[in-house]
Structure 1
Amino acid sequence: MAACIDTPRPDTSHNPNRSQPNDQAHKFMNFCRPSFSDHVSCIPFNRNFTNKAVDVLHREEETEDLWNQMLEEARSDVEREPILSNYYHSSILCHKSLESALATHLSIKLSNSSLPINTLVDIFMEVLEGDSEIMRAVEGDLRAVKQRDPACISYVHCFLNFKGFLAIQAHRVAHKLWSQQRKILALLIENRVSEVFAVDIHPGATIGSGILLDHATGVVIGETAVVGNDVSILHNVTLGGTGKVAGDRHPKIGNGVLIGAGTCILGNIRIGDGAKVGAGSVVLKEVPARTTAVGNPARLLGGKENPIKLDRIPSHTMDHTSHIAEWSDYVI
């Protein structure tokens, strides 16, 4: 059983100089999706709060709530399956934070004889504890998987067993190292993720939060690709280039996009916010926001001049078959 590795933190709960949150901040509703007209924008009730201050407060509350829920789920699982008590203790229950648990779990998964666990734990902990935005994205990914994947029975189930989730989190660390010019180390992590999880994401790629890699096997994302927030991607998806051209050469995926299994999106093209790409499609040209592209080569449902517009966020609905009558008369 792996040793529980954690970093002690000073207790500031009784510090009289510590700033206290204003109760009115709890009235602030910050879940806004302004890129979709069917979602109403939110305005804070107390304008004296900056967005940053409120975001920090909400993030701290949500992190604590999520971590506490994971601890409860882990205890419940151990009660049902006592044989897993050692595994759950070392992976979840002995840790004081999500950062510590994630760093240790990833390190165990990615370590080998020449890349020991303790070395990886040090690397992962340095990044995860030093970057609150990464941890915000980690939490967003956990919630996305739980909400969108009917096969996910709990947050702990996702955390321990879903390789798509784990591959994304390892990429977040590698991307941070890449941005710090620690490229050799970033590429080493990419290689181990590819070997262990069968997911190959270049550390230079930029990926938002609320990401679901469903099944994840065979996902390839190139160096200059950009993936927005709240995106759902199934297995065997390639976000690649079109040849040996250097520079900015990979796709840009907007917010709320759903990409079906076996899809290839190639070149420096944009898939607009809220768009959907059907399974097995090959996309070489821009896909406008809220439209659906299917086929090889991909075409827009409803036609290029007047494409059918989606009225819901496809990455949330995970609906792969809507408007099927508009593009196929194939009957079984």
Structure 2
Amino acid sequence: MLTTQLNGIWPKIKEEAKKASMAEPGLASHYHCTVLKHENFTQSITYILAGLLASEDLPDMLVREVCEEAMAADAAIETSMLEDINASVERDAACDEYLTPLLHYKGYHALQAYRISHWLWQQGRKPLALFFQNRVSEIFDVDIHPAANIGHGIMIDHATGVVIGETTVIENDVSMLHSVTLGGSGCTSKKRHPTIGRGVMIGAGSKILGNVNVGEAAKVAAGSLVRKDVPSYSTVAGVPAKIVGKCRLQPAKTMDQQIPG
């Protein structure tokens, strides 16, 4: 069930779309098709994803049907999608409207397409899940394996070059920037990718490789290479990454990328 805060996001999106349509009449049709003609958030996001992911092999009508099927079967998908929008508004200084990530942020779009492909993967529909993964990689330059487990309240800022491997686990309220790799180590079919704790912030260009744990509210500085566990509420930096300080607050929410000292 959606919280009061999440319930209020869709009305705000519609109001923002109305204002944008009046401010920029040349885009009025765009705002109408993506937001204003729809009765609810599900109709809007499935329309948007279908338009982005469709191909000659899988027309937009079929993509939308799959998205609607997934969201009807699992109410948590919509909740996560709204939490992700809220995360962008709260953490991205460049994002001052709920409409912005819904229409313009490829990190948001890639993550929501992953949520559909993850549901397909769980249903045993692996060929279609992998098809979605490939489309996301082609269109957004973001590669998220559909078997990965990703929580809600996630922000992938800019997103270009992000790679998230098959056995990765990302808990709630995580922020990461572009060119982050959550990669595997070894060719075993067992857990070989990172587990990222709640409230973690991962800086641009960081590489976290293997079955390592990044503890709650830790900070991984930009350009770091992490091959060992990172304690909760700590900051790591360097190649290889070493502990350089502590975190008092959840860095994912403050987006403070300073290194102590």
The bucket for the TM-score relative to the shorter chain is over 0.9
Map 1:37-56 onto structure 2 (within 5 A): 56=1
Q: Match of 1:76, as an amino acid?
A: K
Secondary structure of 1:137's aligned partner = helix
* 4+ long deviations beyond 4 Å: none
Corresponding residue for 2:122? Answer: 179
Please report how far the alpha carbon of residue 112 of structure 1 lies from its aligned counterpart in structure 2 after TM superposition: 1.5
- State the distance in 2 between where 1:60 and 1:141 align: 14
SS in 2 for 1:265: strand
Amino acid at match of 2:258: T
* Matching of residue 318 in structure 1 with residue 255 in structure 2: yes
Query: What is the rounded CA distance, in whole Å, between the counterparts of 1:251 and 1:187 in structure 2?
Result: 21
Relative contact order higher in (CA < 8 Å, ≥ 6 apart): 2
TM-score (normalised: structure 2): 0.98
Residue 66 of structure 2 is aligned with which of 120, 123, 128? 123
Deviation at 1:132, TM superposition (A): 1.2
Gapped runs of 5+ residues in structure 2?
A: none
TM-score normalised over the length of structure 1: 0.77
In structure 1, give the amino acid aligned to 2:208. I
Letter in 2 for 1:239: L
Identify the residue that residue 221 of structure 1 maps to in structure 2.
Answer: 164
| 1:278-300 Cα deviation digits (max 9, x unpaired) | 00000000000000110000000
User: C-alpha distance in 2, partners of 1:109/1:186?
Assistant: 16
Quote the Cα distance in structure 2 between the aligned partners of 1:64 and 1:244.
44
Whether 2:190 is the aligned partner of 1:247: answer: yes
Q: CA deviation at 1:157?
A: 1.2
> How far apart in 1 are the matches of 2:25 and 2:259?
44
Identity of aligned residues (%): 44
* Counterpart residue identity of residue 320, structure 1: Q
**Residues 1:258 and 2:258 aligned together:** no
1:284 to 224, 227, 244: 227
In structure 1, list runs of 5 or more residues that go unmatched.
Answer: 1-55, 302-307, 326-332
Shift of 1:224: 0.4
Shift, 1:88, TM fit: 0.5
Structure 1 window deviating more from structure 2 (257-266 vs 309-318): it is 309-318
- Are 1:111 and 2:54 counterparts? yes
Amino acid at match of 1:315: A
Kindly tell me the number of residue pairs found equivalent between the two proteins: 261
Report the Cα offset of residue 89 of structure 1.
0.4
For 1:131 and 1:262, how far apart are their aligned partners in 2? Answer: 33
Give the match's secondary structure for 1:247: coil
**Which structure's CA Rg is the greater one?**
1
Aligned to 2:16: 73
- Equivalent residue for 1:191? 134
Calculate the aligned-residue CA RMSD, in Å: 1.0
Counterpart Cα distance in 2 of 1:247 and 1:60: 36
Q: Which residue, 200, 216, 219 being the options, matches 1:273?
A: 216
Q: Match for residue 212 of structure 1?
A: 155
Aligned equivalent of 1:202: 145
* 2:104 is the alignment partner of 1:161: yes
Q: What do residues 130-153 of structure 1 show as CA deviations (whole Å, max 9, x unaligned)?
A: 211111111110000011111113
What is the rounded CA distance, in whole Å, between the counterparts of 2:7 and 2:216 in structure 1?
31
